[in-house]
């Protein structure tokens, strides 16, 4: 794939190293588990970016392994909200600048409170969307936490 995605430009500007992984999305399989399989990486280090909205219309971003499900109760507690709902797919681009299947936690239209599950910090590297369907970036977990100012104190996945 040609050109750099916005997330890559942001990492370059910050001087943070990363590797890229690309896959062919033409079969329509753009979910996280399919992406992990296509790039030959464990689902434990490939993460998805989920966007939620609170009762006060505040947007929150959660980055979790593609093999896990977000626990909305735990996530609401982490965000200091009574309840969170998943942002409707039709609103993802409006709020983030990204589309479903290509949503990166890096380089959204605005900076939103971002959360990584507390167990994530033990991983050396993490793979997230580069912001375009079919493109992933692998970087140090600590660098992702730094660039997104992510909160890592809470368990936010089911189980």
Strands 47-54 and 59-65 turn out to be antiparallel
Averaged pLDDT, 95-102: 93
Tokens of 157: 């996945």
User: Beta partners for 62?
Assistant: 50, 115
Q: What pTM was computed for the model?
A: 0.94
What pLDDT score was predicted for residue 72?
Answer: 97
Reduced to 3 states (helix: H, G, I; strand: E, B; else coil), residue 125 is strand
With respect to residue 157, please indicate whether it lies within any of the assigned structural domains. no
Number of domains observed in the structure of the chain = 1
What pLDDT score was predicted for residue 2?
Answer: 64
Tokens of 25: 């999305």
- 50 dihedral zone (left: phi>0; alpha: psi -120 to 50; beta): beta
With respect to residue 154, please indicate whether it lies within any of the assigned structural domains. no
With respect to residue 27, please indicate whether it lies within any of the assigned structural domains. yes
Read off the CATH number of the domain in which 119 is found: 3.90.960.10
Round to whole Å and give the CA distance between 82 and 95. Answer: 21
Q: What is the pLDDT of residues 20-64, one digit of tens each?
A: 999 999 998 989 999 999 999 999 999 999 999 999 899 999 999
With respect to residue 1, please indicate whether it lies within any of the assigned structural domains. no
Q: Helices in 3-153 by DSSP H: which ranges?
A: 6-14, 32-39, 72-79, 89-96, 141-148
What pLDDT score was predicted for residue 52?
Answer: 98
| Position 1 pLDDT exceeds 60 | no
Question: Structural domain of residue 118, as residue ranges?
Answer: 6-128+138-148
């Amino acid at each position: 794939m040609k050109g750099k995605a916005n997330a890559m430009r942001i990492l370059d500007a910050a001087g943070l190293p990363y590797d890229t992984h690309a896959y062919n999305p033409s079969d329509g399989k753009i979910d996280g588990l399919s992406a992990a399989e296509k790039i030959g990486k464990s689902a434990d280090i490939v993460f998805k970016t989920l966007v939620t909205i609170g009762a006060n219309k505040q947007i929150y971003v959660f980055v979790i392994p593609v093999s896990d499900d977000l626990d909305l109760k735990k996530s609401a507690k982490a965000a200091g909200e009574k309840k969170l709902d998943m942002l409707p797919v039709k609103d993802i681009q409006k709020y983030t600048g990204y589309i479903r299947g290509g949503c990166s936690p890096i380089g959204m239209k605005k900076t939103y409170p971002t959360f990584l599950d507390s167990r994530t910090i033990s991983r050396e590297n993490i793979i997230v969307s580069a912001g375009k369907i079919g493109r992933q970036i692998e970087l140090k977990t600590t660098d992702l936490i730094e660039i997104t100012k992510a909160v890592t104190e809470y368990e936010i996945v089911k189980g």
